[in-house]
Structure 1
């Protein structure tokens, strides 16, 4: 009885080597760095760096809670041994002055600007992404081109225009300027997000008899919440912290917080308590907004990274 042994051809790969090419591709240096960034030690280091990054904010808060005499005599870090030096007198003086009016002026400028930019940009982005009309691509290229137009070149022409129509120095004039220069980026951002929505969802809605407005309101806008939230945070922060437009287009009676605090810089040595408390109060609303929409903000930043 003979036993036949089948041997593999000389050119065929053996079992030991046949699986070498079927595994995951070799990771480069960048891939190895990314893997290590997820380790516990690196996360601890990042937390420590984040705490150090917050040290100036902590110092600002401490300075705002002490008198000018104490701040001039010693550094803010001495508060850990002298907690009795903390007082809210500077906040009382700040709120009893012109800061309260400038705070509400900032709200009246920032909130309408953010709402208008999001509303107009979302509708325009939907049209550029999913509606066919003559000159669509050309119009979108014009919008993209407006991204590189600097604000400074429009200050004088817009100021002359505002003077002719009688809105120079008013809050609506500041709002219109922010809306005009906020729309190009907003349309560009939302259009790139909306175009990634599956076309089958829109076609199904059209087959059910939904109009374009219904599709936008019921399908596109809800699905675009992450990108819209990200845009809202960016736009809110840009307008909230703006000083250039306020200096040019806002009168003293309509000045936002940034212009009010800038006017206090002329007496920097004598009103450090006003500046520090005003600057710290200006941080509160953006922080609340960011933490309230943090989940949508992260989703908006990560959208498009996974297909």
Structure 2
């Protein structure tokens, strides 16, 4: 550098500087063409793509609109013509179907049974799964890795395999055909996924943060409650939404393990399918009523749900 500056001061031509080790393109070099995948990703936010996605979303919501309209039509009109005829004859819309549904003790009882099944199943799975996941992630104990392997192995066990053994077990302890029996089944099959999901999220928390809390005298339960849970709220909310939707929309477990007095709304609606032609108004209004609760839960936790789903991609 000194020789270059001295030569410039004496008026002598300076030596050419060494080649750029970075090998960057010069001003006259052509700009490299981006790959096809990169160009497609760049166009994803364009107006054409947004219009197409909006059209797909509207088309996807057509069955929901049809169910809503069918639930507001009298039974004879629903059996005689399609729901789209309401646009030419809107006077046929009525709330009589919902009034009759809400005055039906069987439907209201099944809807209440669904709440009694879904809420405890969700709370127990989230609470037990979070405690077990924290232990598997941050507490050293003998056989921890084998326990984790067992949890992962339980993820591939289908529900159908356990129907008969669990039915015999619940019958032996007097819980078959009751709401607690259905709750226990959902909790048992929801825990492996809960532990696996939350353990992976808890393991991503910086170790220094937990070590600092332990050095300040915090016990494991206090660290879990005051530190880990607030950080992991998106993952916990995602698990709660998943578990609640699975249990609320379940038919197989309720059909096998619940009797008439403890049957959920899905089983009650299935019993109306025996006379589908004469029960379109009952089925439509009952199905739409049972769909309102999970939709409300999803939209209430939507922000945390999206954060929990995307958490693994932002680490």
Give TM-score scaled by structure 1 length.
0.94
1:203 CA drift (Å): 1.1
What CA distance in whole angstroms lies between the structure 1 residues aligned with 2:26 and 2:261?
76
Matching of residue 293 in structure 1 with residue 301 in structure 2: yes
Moved segments of 4+, more than 3 Å:
13-20, 24-28
1:73 CA drift (Å): 2.3
What CA distance in whole angstroms lies between the structure 1 residues aligned with 2:132 and 2:33?
44
Shift in alpha-carbon separation, 1:183–1:83, aligned structure 2, 3 A: same
1:7 CA drift (Å): 3.7
What CA distance in whole angstroms lies between the structure 2 residues aligned with 1:26 and 1:110?
54
Give SS of 1:304's match. Answer: helix
1:17 CA drift (Å): 4.5
Equivalent in 139, 142, 146 of residue 154 of structure 2: 146
Summarize the alignment of residues 35-54 of structure 1 with structure 2, pairs less than 5 Å apart: 35-54=42-61
**Which residue of the partner structure matches residue 12 of structure 1?**
19
- Is the contact made by 2:79 and 2:278 (CA closer than 8 Å) also made in structure 1? no
Shift in alpha-carbon separation, 1:2–1:115, aligned structure 2, 3 A: closer
Matching of residue 254 in structure 1 with residue 262 in structure 2: yes
Summarize the alignment of residues 75-154 of structure 1 with structure 2, pairs less than 5 Å apart: 75-97=82-104, 98-154=106-162
User: Which one has the largest radius of gyration?
Assistant: 2
1:30 CA drift (Å): 2.6
What CA distance in whole angstroms lies between the structure 2 residues aligned with 1:251 and 1:96?
21
- State the aligned residue count: 303
TM-superposition CA deviations, 1:228-252 (whole Å, max 9, x none): 0000000000000000000110000
1:26 CA drift (Å): 7.0
**Which residue of the partner structure matches residue 177 of structure 2?**
169
- Is the contact made by 2:72 and 2:94 (CA closer than 8 Å) also made in structure 1? yes
1:25 CA drift (Å): 9.3
**Which residue of the partner structure matches residue 77 of structure 2?**
70
- Is the contact made by 2:133 and 2:198 (CA closer than 8 Å) also made in structure 1? yes
The range that moved more, 134-143 or 24-33, is 24-33
**Which residue of the partner structure matches residue 278 of structure 1?**
286
1:33 CA drift (Å): 2.1
Shift in alpha-carbon separation, 1:175–1:19, aligned structure 2, 3 A: farther
Stretches of structure 2 that go unaligned for 5 or more consecutive residues are 1-8
What CA distance in whole angstroms lies between the structure 2 residues aligned with 1:46 and 1:165?
52
- Is the contact made by 2:79 and 2:280 (CA closer than 8 Å) also made in structure 1? no
What CA distance in whole angstroms lies between the structure 2 residues aligned with 1:18 and 1:56?
55
What CA distance in whole angstroms lies between the structure 1 residues aligned with 2:78 and 2:185?
39
